[in-house]
Amino acid sequence: MGGFFGAVSKRDCVLDIFFGVDYHSHLGTRRGGMVVYDAKDGFQRQIHNIENTPFRTKFEKDMSKFHGISGIGCISDTDPQPLLVRSHLGLFAITTVGIINNADALVEEYFGRQGSQFMAMSSGAVNSTELTAALINQKDTLVEGIRHAQEVIDGSATILILTPEGIIAARDKLGRLPVLIGRGEEGFCVSFESFAYQKLGYSNAYELGPREIVKVTAEGWETLSPAGKEMQICAFLWTYYGYPNSNYEGVNVEVMRYRNGEIMARDEIARGQLPKVDYVAGVPDSGLPHAIGYANRSGKFFARPFVKYTPTWPRSFMPANQNIRNQVAKMKQIPVPELIEGKKLLFVDDSIVRGTQLRETIEFLYSCGAEEVHMRSACPPIMYGCKYLNFSRSNSDMELLARATVQKLEGSEGQEHLDEYADCSSERGQCLLKTICEDLGFNSLGYQSLEGLLEAIGIDKKMICTYCWTGKE
């Protein structure tokens, strides 16, 4: 995934950028970067690998070297950035969040035949932010270039550009990710997460619309290119990877998750499917608010049979290696045996993706003496890997638990009936639930319905991307 933060001020704002970027550390663990601008000394930039050391620790020593009244920074789960670019449009720094599915084609079509070149990474791939900058430089102005890049990119591109005159911020063309502006006493900031600037003395000022491009200075902001009418904001912002304090399109993440859990319990009660359990629990951390809502509506006691150990394993995405990540996830979850032994437990997780870690968790619960384990997912069965945002580590849709189960049940024939399998009220949907229960050892399994999820978010459903569940664009 990834996140960003920038600020423009009448005073030195290096610390604002430092802490603002650090507040996005939950969105990635590979690289962090900062670039600041000073009228006398120009651009100053630093990029660090943060796979084994948090952003704040890696950049703390750089703070004494940085000085400037404007700057941008990022947490990147992919390429090193921000980048410094010199072109006919001038010298600027750029950072991006998104994914370019047609990168090879763009390199070949636009640059391969013109003698241009890119700095290849160790994998041989082109840095996606460098490619975005090259696309921008095809046009006569930054605004024209940004619009061009967003039109030709298959995927998404949310862009921050730092120039000597200020920051240009562009939300991706369908608004899949947020871009917000905060107002301070001596300047303005731009951020992915709204909560990131609140502790820095900024208040909510403006949220960009899809496709909108704005220029931010110490005096305010102005729209350089208007917002489009069509929006497809990612539902997973609220369900999973958004931080609890954040608001997107006026909807708070934590509040949505409470409401989502309440709706799940409400619907199960209406169907007469609420199991008899001793405790309702959340899979830490993002499953907790969904579980609280479920417990509140069901009347069941809320408990924490697992507590996440964060002092040495603070970040949920770390590390990049899947096998090590599985081991780390296992080590972070510290059980409370008194709340497990002899108990009937219902767990709520934000989602069920591959199920690898979940299988080990269930086995451990039974080894600790749990009598029953029921599982609920706060979103529908995930049938498709995301092709619009770079946050999924699945190499194939068949790595997804739901898709793998369909393949097990019906082979390639089942792949023609994914809509039915995604509907847990259908015959095929019921078969999916039963099979996963048998494979993972659940006493029962339930998924939030798509209708319930959209109700919990509470904005026009036409504005929400649900591709990972429906496969529909």
Domains 2-230 and 251-470 share a fold: no
Element spanning 1, H or E: none
Strand partners, 173: none
Instruction: Please write the tens of the pLDDT for every residue from 26-51.
Output: 898 889 999 999 999 999 999 999 88
Q: Which of 8-17, 215-224, 230-239, 361-370 has the lowest mean pLDDT?
A: 361-370
DSSP helix/strand/coil, 23: coil
pLDDT at 313 over 60: no
- Rounded to an integer, the average pLDDT of 446-467 is 97
Going by the DSSP 8-state scheme, the letter that residue 165 receives in this structure is T
Residue pair 348/379 in contact by the 8 Å Cβ criterion = no
pTM tops 0.75, yes or no: yes
Q: Looking at residue 125, what is its pLDDT?
A: 76
- Nearest Cα neighbor of 450 from 415, 414, 419, 404 is 419
- Nearest Cα neighbor of 58 from 27, 34, 84, 24 is 34
Whole-number average pLDDT of the chain: 91
**What confidence tier does 66 reach under pLDDT thresholds 50, 70, 90?**
very high
Domain positions in the chain: 2-230, 251-470
Report the C-alpha gap between 333 and 400 in whole angstroms. 23
CATH for the stretch 251-470: 3.40.50.2020
Q: Looking at residue 358, what is its pLDDT?
A: 83
Q: Which structure tokens are listed for 386?
A: 């995301």
Going by the DSSP 8-state scheme, the letter that residue 378 receives in this structure is S
CATH for the stretch 2-230: 3.60.20.10
